[in-house]
Amino acid sequence: MTTSTSTLQESEVRSPLVRDQLESSAKLYDDPTRKQGWASKAYHQMLAEYYNLQIPADATILEIGCGSGELLSQLKGRQRVGIDLSELQIENARKRIPDATFHVQAGEDLCLTGTFDCIIISETINFAADAQRIFEKIHSVSHPRTRLILNFFNNLWQPLSLLATAVGMRSQQVRTNWLSHSDVRNLLSISGWETVTQTHRILIPFSVFGLERILNRTLAPLVPHACITIFSTARPLPKPPIKDQTVSVIIPARNEAGNIEAAVRRTPAMGTHTELIFVEGNSTDDTWKEILRVADQYPEKHITCIQQTGIGKGDAVRAGFAAATGDILMILDADLTVPPEELPKFYQLIASGRAEFANGVRLVYPMQDEAMRFLNLCANKTFSIIFTWLMGQPIKDTLCGTKVLLRTDYERLAANRAYFGDFDPFGDFDLLFGAGKLGLRIADIPIRYGDRTYGTTNISRWKHGLLLIRMVLFAAKKLKFT
């Protein structure tokens, strides 16, 4: 038997980008003038058929992001519970399903008692502020035999989805997370879930006088990648023990005077001890002076101040790593486009042993408008394909500044550096190639990527782009054509 409570849990420290997304979602779905798409009813009936194929009649069910209860009302089960961050949607759900239980909660702040046999997440991860956090939270309401069943949009349907919204077929939504099937597998994996099945469903998502049923049953299985939605089933894995570790956060800083204090204030304490190591790199503004001032003002933050003697971020990172005393080494770019509040995710992944190298990924969630120029985005996506081929394991984003590994693994990597040579001024490729050469398990951690609020980027698009191509060719010779 499962019981629940509507008491909201005080959320942990989260980045402003995640907080803004949750607030935008609540505002939109609480708007009484928001219209329901005219194709919604038929689509939810189709989804319900597939969910009911997998849900036992006597199961206890929890739906994360239940909205007005349109899907949950059609699901079988002896107990149904739904949560949603919109008070208006929950009010409508209670009217629709009087015998079910509902709570006003975001999935990122899930706080219920008891466990459920089936946990349903229907498209919620497409609009979630932090899908990884939702997957982590639902462990608290799972038992060893719980099955997580979710569906999410197929990327191929992105243009048609925008058109459907424009003509009123689909309800107005917040900005969509267009996740690939591999993105979802990875998010489940780093959150402690094992993907059991993954299938494509529904070719025609609206009613066409019964023709949609015939096509969805006969044609859709033959052209799966054209279907609108992907269903995944996952089971919880035993939670690995978290080994207490100390942490060194390396912050390379060149012309970042306006971000130094925010970096110190916003970086969470992790493990048994956290130190911050600023490496100032030949700035033309007051960055060095500001680092010294902030270090003096925040002695409890254990700040070390270094001025690099070489040139480039790669040299700064290596100088910071050489001064680090922590068990786990982290890189945080001083521009704070990767929110410092995301760092505990990296700590948990490494400290639990689920991965040996944690790589930040900016290409999963929507970015703020000025976060990355279009050509840079195209280049990053291209490099992700090339690097996945080179490394033999998925690498979604090669140039995200946030990378985390054990100090002992870094020392092995540094000792093996002669194989590739000192060829990388950025530091990202040096670490990724070294990790690949050592056979480290690399895991991507999706993060929300924000606009720069101070200064300008230190990256030259064309000059550094050509340099990246040269490094890829060099790495291919060392890793593939050997």
| pLDDT tens for each residue of 261-305 | 999 999 999 999 999 999 999 899 999 999 999 999 999 999 999
Distance, CA of 304 to chain centre:
30
Contact between residue 289 and residue 253 where contact means Cβ atoms under 8 Å apart: no
Contact between residue 235 and residue 146 where contact means Cβ atoms under 8 Å apart: yes
**How many Cβ atoms are within 10 Å of 343's Cβ, its own excluded?**
26
**Average pLDDT for 56-67:** 96
β-strands 357-361, 403-406: how paired? Answer: antiparallel
Q: Which of 6-10, 140-144, 173-177 has the lowest mean pLDDT?
A: 6-10
CA distance 366 to 21: 10
Three-state secondary-structure class, residue 357? strand
Residue 174: per-residue pLDDT: 77
Sheet holding 229-236, edge to edge: 101-104, 79-84, 60-64, 116-122, 142-153, 229-236, 193-201
Contact between residue 259 and residue 286 where contact means Cβ atoms under 8 Å apart: no
User: What is residue 125's DSSP assignment?
Assistant: G
CA distance 89 to 91: 5
**Average pLDDT for 398-418:** 91
Three-state secondary-structure class, residue 119? strand
Please give the structure tokens belonging to residue 171. Answer: 């309800």
Residue 373: per-residue pLDDT: 61
What ranges in 84-192 are assigned the alpha helix state H? Answer: 87-96, 131-137, 158-166, 181-190
Which residues on adjacent β-strands are paired with residue 195?
234
Residue 161: per-residue pLDDT: 72
Contact between residue 29 and residue 85 where contact means Cβ atoms under 8 Å apart: yes
Domain range summary for the chain, segments of one domain joined by +: 16-236, 246-479
| CATH architecture of structural domain 16-236 | 3-Layer(aba) Sandwich (3.40)
Query: CA angle, corner 397, sides to 392 and 402, nearest 5?
Result: 115
- Give me the sign of the Cα torsion angle 327, 330, 334, 336: negative
**Average pLDDT for 197-217:** 92
Contact between residue 442 and residue 436 where contact means Cβ atoms under 8 Å apart: yes
What CATH number belongs to 246-479?
3.90.550.10
Number of C-alpha atoms within 13 angstroms, CB side, residue 328? 31
Residue 419: per-residue pLDDT: 72
Task: Report the chain's mean pLDDT, rounded to a whole number.
Answer: 88
Which residue in the block uniquely carries the two structure tokens 């992944």?
Answer: 349
Percent of the chain with pLDDT over 90: 66
CA distance 98 to 67: 15
| Residue 7: band (very low, low, confident or very high) from pLDDT cuts 50, 70, 90 | very low
